[in-house]
Structure 1
Amino acid sequence: MDIVYRINESCRADEAADVFRASGIRRPVGDLERIQRMLDHADEIVTARDGEKLIGLLRAITDYSYCCYISDIAVHRSYQGQGIGKALIHKLIHKLGNEEIKYTLTSAPGAVGFYEKFGFERSDKAFEIKRIKN
């Protein structure tokens, strides 16, 4: 297995939806137009491919100077536990740097340990307005 990582490689909505579905992450996988908008309007996308197959995806929104919100990190279930998620994050941090930029994300309950091991700290100061349409 030779995993290839790329930054801002074009990614189709159907293959992103497949990775979301296969990773267990909850995203609107039945609405490919919405998935495409999510991809089109991300500032940074980091992909992981095994050959031509998309197996990992990181999507982020950033101002490139102060903050970066990592909105998705998804790795196909059959590839989890191999360091792909960590590599996706490392690729993003390598590109943007970590001296001036603060990285933020929200975690699914089952992924909290992964992020803590990576070095993310829990925050009790986050707020959200829930979306009407999931």
Structure 2
Amino acid sequence: MPVTVERSLGPEDVPQLVDLYETYDWWADRGETELRRALAATDEAVALRQTESGDLVAAARVLTDYSYYAMVFDVIVHADRRGEGLGEELLAALVTHPPLADVDLELLSREGLVPFYEACGFEEVGAVDRPGGDPEELRFLAYRRDE
């Protein structure tokens, strides 16, 4: 099913974003109040919507200073749509998002997703301990712009 790239998310998108997060156990506790606050503090967002229905099928948020740093958060593809290339399409839209054109992108990833992010042009540059004593380290990856 074709999707449309959208370069922003607003308060009206919160109910669909909550539904999207609920497709994954580790984000199932995110509620509308917190997501409204998070989106209000988000500098940039990229989303994919199913073209015909307008349903949100993938999204990512970015916090940035537009000069040096851009940290990518909450890269998510609806569980029912994984394996269709939507993650790659979402990240391609993110790295070509005009306000982020001159800034390197960084993100933290679970170890099992590192190959996916590397295939999208990110490179692993380190690891950090996961908060709460979880034994799984998070991998730090970066998308570096060519000089």
- Tell me the TM-score normalized by structure 2: 0.75
1:112 pairs, out of 103, 111, 114, with: 114
Find the aligned partners of 2:26 and 2:110 in 1 and give their Cα distance: 9
The equivalent of 1:58 in structure 2 is 60
The equivalent of 1:102 in structure 2 is 104
Find the aligned partners of 1:16 and 1:36 in 2 and give their Cα distance: 10
Find the aligned partners of 1:74 and 1:125 in 2 and give their Cα distance: 21
The answer to which structure, 1 or 2, has the higher relative contact order (CA under 8 A, 6+ apart) is 1
Task: State the Cα RMSD in Å.
Answer: 2.2
Find the aligned partners of 1:25 and 1:112 in 2 and give their Cα distance: 20
Gaps of 5+ in 2: 133-147
Please state whether the residue corresponding to 2:123 is helix, strand or coil: coil
Find the aligned partners of 1:31 and 1:14 in 2 and give their Cα distance: 9
Show CA shifts across 1:91-114 (max 9, x none): 1221221xx411110112332221
Find the aligned partners of 2:113 and 2:54 in 1 and give their Cα distance: 27
Find the aligned partners of 2:87 and 2:30 in 1 and give their Cα distance: 24
2:76 pairs, out of 67, 74, 77, with: 74
Gaps of 5+ in 1: none
- Tell me the TM-score normalized by structure 1: 0.81
Find the aligned partners of 1:37 and 1:9 in 2 and give their Cα distance: 12
Compared CA separation, residues 3 and 47, structure 1 to 2 (3 A): same
Q: Which moved more, 1:66-75 or 1:105-114?
A: 105-114
Residue identity matched to 1:86: E
Find the aligned partners of 2:8 and 2:25 in 1 and give their Cα distance: 21
Residue identity matched to 1:18: D
Identity %: 27
Compared CA separation, residues 122 and 32, structure 1 to 2 (3 A): same
Greater strand proportion: 2
Find the aligned partners of 2:103 and 2:74 in 1 and give their Cα distance: 18
CA contact (8 A) 1:43 1:62 kept: yes
